[in-house]
Amino acid sequence: MSTFTEPITLPAPGVVEGLDEWKKLEVFQQPNWPDEAAVESARAQLRTFPQLVFAGEVDQLRARLGDVAQGKAFLLQGGDCAETFAHATADKIKARVKTILQMAIVLTYGASLPVIKMGRMAGQFSKPRSSDTETRDGVTLPAYRGDVVNGYDFTPESRTPDPHRLVDGYHMAASTLNLIRAFTQGGFADLREVHMWNKGFTSNPANSRYDQLAGEIDRAVRFMDACGADFEELKRADFFVGHEALLFDYERPLTRIDSRTGQPYGTSAHFLWIGERTRQLDAAHVDYLSRLRNPIGVKLGPSTSTDDVERLIDRLDPDREPGRLTFITRMGAGTIRDALPPLLEFVSKTDALPVWVSDPMHGNSMTTSTGYKTRRFDDVVNEVRGFFEAHSQVGTFPGGVHIELTGDDVTECLGGAEEIDEATLATRYESVCDPRLNHMQSLELAFLIAEELSAHSQASA
């Protein structure tokens, strides 16, 4: 056991009992790397790199999610469907962080609850796919599995999985996280700067509404300043990162043993979730994540049974620790009001207290006649409303939202105050995966969620 008391070092394979049990199980959604020696070389490099997040931060997030489970805070997760290396630029990262900070302010102010801010950022580089291959005009190539695996361009060179991308992905995540930490800890996220976060975005109804709110916050802050309040606490914002823990060749080498406790932590992100396609109870992902100390999310689609939920709780939260397990429901706007309440009722009668989060994106995708993958803003809103209704009906706490968004002025989702229509989609469609809400649609949604949350708090007070 002496290994566990040493400072954090590389876990030798198998040091923690059972950690590699997943290797004996079915592993879904992994790439077919052409060159095993090159993959091992990439894994070996990742094993030597410093951890991206620290065990103490992960514990802090778990504790804060424990507050969410108990209805004392709200979780806001947002970011790209798939981050790309080309878009890991300062401007784009900053715009996304600003958008999330603005949404968090709208929610905090509207609902008088602490909001935990989390980016789908700094590691959201790998994607599950419905098929291993993609065929265009009679040519079949490997499907795009995210920038950490292969390129999006439809050529054999680009689509062949390249293990060097695992190492590149780590560096992209490190620089993204570095910028996030600089923005949120270095004064930019100071609450006295709320007006500044609106700068650089086009003027539109959601931004004007935000400006008004920022004015109110400014006045309140100046009043408190005049009263001699201490603003140290307002200078920094805690900002966590999370992604789908999909790719074992990335997650396993970045798993480290905490020297304080001897427990394994995924150090690629604070929060790791299991996708709808990889949550099979007897397969690799559930087993592996059950052994990490991170707070774990699981996506739940419309066909989820109470039995699935019961067994996921037993596997992932055997100690019934509030904050350990988050269920992210993505049922579809037309289904959530029927599919969610039975699950909530079932869990409310057990001793488990998971966090419930709404992902109003993944159950509402559609393809236009012109071939664009899109979502209607109204469907997203409708699913969020359905989520709040289901919780009101059962008496459970609607703990958060999980949104695919960008700070950029893209045209990927239909509707919103700008009334983006099918013809407009083509003008600024940048996503290589699912369509994201743009900055304005994101703010608009935040105002709406704030109203729902505030109504919910009042009704249950």
**Contacts with Co ion, residue ranges (CB under 5 A):** 81, 434
Shortest spacing between CB 276 and ligand PEP, in angstroms: 4
For the beta carbon of residue 58, count every other beta carbon within 10 angstroms: 24
Residue 3: C-alpha distances to residues 52, 104, 268, 288, 371 (Å): 21, 41, 22, 21, 55
Q: In this chain, which residue has its C-beta nearest to ligand PEP?
A: 275
Q: Are 218 and 137 in contact (CB under 8 A)?
A: no
Q: Are 380 and 364 in contact (CB under 8 A)?
A: yes
Return the residue matching tokens 């100690």: 319
Which of the ranges 85-93, 233-241, 275-283, 442-450 carries the binding residues for ligand PEP, by CB under 6 A? 275-283
Shortest spacing between CB 357 and ligand PEP, in angstroms: 11
Our CA angle for 343, 344, 345, nearest 5°, is 90
Q: Which residues contact 399 (CB under 8 A, 6 or more apart)?
A: 68, 69, 71, 74, 75, 326, 355, 356, 357
Q: Which does 128 bind (CB under 5 to 8 A by kind): ligand PEP, Co ion, none?
A: ligand PEP
Shortest spacing between CB 269 and Co ion, in angstroms: 16
The two tokens of residue 47 are: 């094993």
Which of the ranges 190-198, 274-282, 318-326, 386-394 carries the binding residues for ligand PEP, by CB under 6 A? 274-282
The two tokens of residue 126 are: 């790998």
In the bound state with ligand PEP, the residue whose beta carbon lies nearer, of 264 and 295, is: 295
Shortest spacing between CB 154 and Co ion, in angstroms: 20
The two tokens of residue 184 are: 């949120």
Which of the ranges 42-50, 227-235, 271-279, 283-291 carries the binding residues for ligand PEP, by CB under 6 A? 271-279
Q: Is 362 in the site for ligand PEP (CB under 6 A)?
A: yes
Site string for ligand PEP, 321-360 (x = CB under 6 A): ---------x------------------------------
Q: Is 276 in the site for ligand PEP (CB under 6 A)?
A: yes
Using CB under 6 A, which residues numbered 79 to 138 contact ligand PEP? 81, 128
In the bound state with ligand PEP, the residue whose beta carbon lies nearer, of 128 and 334, is: 128
In the bound state with ligand PEP, the residue whose beta carbon lies nearer, of 191 and 246, is: 246
Residue 68's H or E segment, with its range, is helix 55-69
Q: Which does 379 bind (CB under 5 to 8 A by kind): Co ion, ligand PEP, none?
A: none
In the bound state with ligand PEP, the residue whose beta carbon lies nearer, of 221 and 283, is: 283
d(CA 459, CA 461): 6
For the beta carbon of residue 236, count every other beta carbon within 10 angstroms: 16
d(CA 315, CA 283): 12
Shortest spacing between CB 436 and ligand PEP, in angstroms: 10
Q: Which residues contact 303 (CB under 8 A, 6 or more apart)?
A: none
In the bound state with ligand PEP, the residue whose beta carbon lies nearer, of 81 and 440, is: 81
List the one residue out of 404, 321, 408, 457 whose CA is nearest residue 76.
404
Q: Is 299 in the site for ligand PEP (CB under 6 A)?
A: yes
Site string for ligand PEP, 243-262 (x = CB under 6 A): -x------------------
Q: Which does 330 bind (CB under 5 to 8 A by kind): Co ion, ligand PEP, none?
A: ligand PEP
List the one residue out of 375, 122, 138 whose CA is nearest residue 272.
122
d(CA 400, CA 391): 12
Q: Which does 299 bind (CB under 5 to 8 A by kind): ligand PEP, Co ion, none?
A: ligand PEP
Helices (H), 90-163: 90-111, 156-159
In the bound state with Co ion, the residue whose beta carbon lies nearer, of 267 and 364, is: 364
Q: What is the DSSP letter of 423?
A: H
Shortest spacing between CB 78 and ligand PEP, in angstroms: 11
Shortest spacing between CB 360 and ligand PEP, in angstroms: 11
Q: b or e along 100-112 (b: 16 or more beta carbons within 10 Å of the residue's beta carbon)? A: bbbbbbbbbbbbe
In the bound state with ligand PEP, the residue whose beta carbon lies nearer, of 146 and 161, is: 146
In the bound state with Co ion, the residue whose beta carbon lies nearer, of 128 and 334, is: 128
Which of the ranges 234-242, 270-278, 333-341, 446-454 carries the binding residues for ligand PEP, by CB under 6 A? 270-278
Return the residue matching tokens 């490190």: 174
Return the residue matching tokens 């019961």: 310
In the bound state with Co ion, the residue whose beta carbon lies nearer, of 287 and 434, is: 434
List residues binding ligand PEP (CB under 6 A): 81, 128, 244, 275-277, 299, 330, 362
